Amino acid sequence: MSNQSGGAGERDDAHLADVEDGAGCTEIWETLSADRDDAES
């Protein structure tokens, strides 16, 4: 379930593609935060 709308075939977890398997909450947060910072630049 996701609040994001996307095109057909877009995965709900596509934003986690750069997160390593087995990563914990902190690693996920850091990755998403860095991606957001990059997008704002």
pTM for the complete prediction?
0.55
Q: Could you report the per-residue pLDDT of 1-37, keeping only the tens digit for each?
A: 455 555 667 788 888 888 889 999 999 999 889 988 9
What does the pLDDT read at residue 23?
92
Q: What angle do CA 41, 30, 21 make, to 5 degrees?
A: 120
Cα separation, 7 vs 27, whole angstroms: 27
- Looking at residue 17, its pLDDT comes to 87
